[in-house]
Structure 1
Amino acid sequence: MGKTNYAKGMYIQPVVGPAVTYVADFTKVQIRCRNDNGSSPTTPYLCVTAGSTISTFWHRRNALPDDIMIVYSHIGPCMFYLGKVTPNPDDIKWFKIYELGYNKDTKKWCSEVARDNHGRMDIVIPKDIENGRYLLRTELLTLQNAQKPMGAQFYPNCVQIHITGANNKFLDPPPEYVSFPGVYQPNDTGILYNLRKDGGMTYQIPGPPVYPPVKNPS
């Protein structure tokens, strides 16, 4: 079955400021979706079947093949979360469905993997969840200045999706839910981190463990 391509930014919540701007203070609400509230009634929802693969694309300037996605000095992990939409975005309970940090075999960070793939990341939507409207939160964390308190740079975005065909249940144990803001703290391992000293060898990705129903493509 073929893949469907959608217009750039069609289902992504608008961000505050330039598209290349990061969130410096992850204790503020902007860490949720890089905007002021985490909801966008004017943004349509993409219909997604549970268990299917969705491809997201990160770009720096444009969607052309020669776009480098992010400058080469900016390296770090990426994380993907799901949160079921609630009337008040502050009440959304998020759970992590994918993460990729530093691969000791290839000696590459997720940011480098994504850049090599022209910004594309393929993510499997879990089957063992509930149907309904969700925010798919994509997040790139760069560590070039993370040796300083509050020096880590976060690039979150939220895609509005409507999941169908799910099993309407969670596996046992269920996901570990977190809040944005709230889950990240300034002294967390993986946020306050000396990249130049360690080079990724002992790096631990921040946030909760990945919810385990499906295996994502490597």
Structure 2
Amino acid sequence: MSSTVVELRQVRKTYRLGIHRVPALRGVDLSVASGELLALTGPSGSGKSTILNLCGLIDRPDEGQILLGGEPVDLRRDREATLLRRDAIGFVFQGFNLVPVMTAAENVDYPLFLAGVAAAERKERVAAALASVGLSEHAHHKPDALSGGQRQRVAIARALVKRPRLVIADEPTASLDSETAEQVLGLMRELSRRQGAAFLIATHDERLTTRCDRIIALHDGRIEESLQ
């Protein structure tokens, strides 16, 4: 049975907009298992981005618990959260968020450099990551020389090169054509199985939701339904 990678327990989160308080999550329970692709769906303002930020340890809940690998995370300890983000979590964004002055290989290498991985090991892992996404021949190309699908594959390689337990993906196929989106979806599925990473994906893209293991629909900060 797959182990739980990240879990939210009765999590509540409210944001302030001027004098107003806007509830983003209203007592959410959620878990994502190793190797699972879980899609979060729902209209804007339903709570998808808040769940991504909480599970990615970017934000902290007002109430409730976040567990990573079965262990509660104390987000009041900034250094602990920073190290967990660096070592255990990968991020894939709709806008790719690649550094334009770096080559594909340098972009993929960057999280390993920040983690203090030795240069020889970094070189080996970057080459393997780029090969896994079919971009070995583009290692020395900068982002502006790559297509949208190739840039998204670089972003996925960068997220997975540090072998994270959890990958947070925010609309990863929204800007891609159907053929490229299909390639990216297949790649995410393959890598989740090969590396055992859990993928938590916020999306409106039906091409993606139909390929996920589970779909959770959100509305007004609550889980409306969970579909296998």
Shorter-chain TM range is: under 0.3
Give 1 or 2: higher helix fraction: 2
Name the structure where strand makes up a greater proportion of residues: 2
Larger Rg: 2
Superposition TM-score, scaled by structure 1 size:
0.28
